[in-house]
Amino acid sequence: MVRDDAVAIHVAEQRAAGARPVSIELASGGELDADLAVLALGNLPPAAPPGADERVMASDRYEPDPWAEGIAERAAGDRSILLVGTGLTMVDVALSLAEACPDARLCAVSRSGLLPRRHGSQPLRPARTFGPIPLRPKLYDIVSRVEAEAEAEASKGGDWRAVIDSLRPVTNEIWTRLSEADRRTFVQRYARRWDIHRHRMAPEVAALLDRARADGQLVIEAARCVSMRPCEGGIEVELQPAGARGPETRRFDRVVNCTGPTLHLKAAGEPLLDDLFARGLARPGPLGMGLDHDPLGALVGADGRVSSHLFTIGPLRKGRLWETTAIPEIRQQAAELAAMLSGEIGRFSAPPPRALAS
């Protein structure tokens, strides 16, 4: 194992005898040669929240990466902390800050103000199946079906979670069969609702969150960030609460960006991805999310050709796939890719790039 950052990948169109076709440039200045490369970069830090300009980004009172080390130490002594986002990332950050900074008042905002639902206390048995998916499903039909099944389940004393969980094995099948317009509508109108039901809190975590809210240490609000600017010892934030006439300005000692991993990789500022985009070796996936790739994870370049040497697994597959961030799905992708590559690696002498079938 080499501990370094990959900052560029070069793929030789024609290689000299004995030379390997892929060369990975490292931040330290070194280079690694390989027959192929798999990008498994995981989740990228969140995009800047709306209204955060360069002065905010440069402020030591703004935390751009909720998973960075040392936030709790830097927040020691803070009395008011704004968490932008109300999903699972916020839950993690709020609970660590509630413990590390007991005197701080935490305020978490998102446009919906919706929190992730909680897992039931009992395991769901027997597991349900969702039933056949039409070849060309319509988003509204799927949504109506899920709502009807959840209501029917609840009316007979069952658990709506069983219906949501029954979709997991077929989520990507539905996603890939939906029209592009329906996928866009899903992202714009339903993704948040889906996420809070699909990605739930453990009951113990939910209980800790309830306690922090009951103690007044954590407040959840439906509000949109309009603008932010650094001020003496903190950040002034203009918030537009849902349903209120106009925005209100509040001051916080610290702002933590908890909006979740960015899906739009072109703007992520990740040097390796920037290099791949700049040289046409990668292009964004559908709806601008993740990296475009074929069904086996081979990258699709700017010219639409499928790479024989560059692959990806995990969260970077978002766009072509919807369910691609949790360990079980990544494990399956890794197994499939390994099986394919171990069967094909001998053919890497110079296979021509394939055109992507639509």
Ligand X SMILES: Cc1cc2nc3c(=O)[nH]c(=O)nc-3n(C[C@H](O)[C@H](O)[C@H](O)COP(=O)(O)OP(=O)(O)OC[C@H]3O[C@@H](n4cnc5c(N)ncnc54)[C@H](O)[C@@H]3O)c2cc1C
Helix ranges restricted to H, 261-326: 271-278
Bridge partners of residue 23, in order along the sequence: 10, 33
Complex with ligand X: residue 239 or 313, whichever CB lies closer: 313
Complex with ligand X: residue 237 or 313, whichever CB lies closer: 313
Q: Distance between alpha carbon 196 and the CA centroid of its chain, in Å?
A: 13
Q: What is the DSSP string of 75-140?
A: HTT-SEEEEE--SHHHHHHHHHHHHH-TTPEEEEEESS-PPPPB--SS---SPP---PPPSS--HH
Complex with ligand X: residue 139 or 293, whichever CB lies closer: 293
Structure tokens at 293: 């790739």
CB atoms within 10 A of CB 130: 20
Complex with ligand X: residue 217 or 325, whichever CB lies closer: 325
Complex with ligand X: residue 44 or 239, whichever CB lies closer: 44
Complex with ligand X: residue 92 or 173, whichever CB lies closer: 92
Minimum CB separation of residue 90 from ligand X in Å reads 9
Minimum CB separation of residue 151 from ligand X in Å reads 27
Minimum CB separation of residue 291 from ligand X in Å reads 12
Minimum CB separation of residue 11 from ligand X in Å reads 16
Q: Which amino acid is at 273?
A: L
The residues of the shown chain that bind ligand X, judged by CB under 6 A, are 5-6, 40-43, 88-89, 92, 261, 272, 314-315, 325-327, 330
Structure tokens at 111: 């446009």
Residue in the structure block whose two tokens are 């609840």: 154
Residue in the structure block whose two tokens are 């955060």: 52
Minimum CB separation of residue 119 from ligand X in Å reads 11
Q: 91 near 114, Cβ under 8 Å?
A: no
Cα 358 to Cα 349: distance, rounded to the nearest angstrom: 27
Minimum CB separation of residue 217 from ligand X in Å reads 20
Cα 177 to Cα 326: distance, rounded to the nearest angstrom: 21
Minimum CB separation of residue 75 from ligand X in Å reads 18
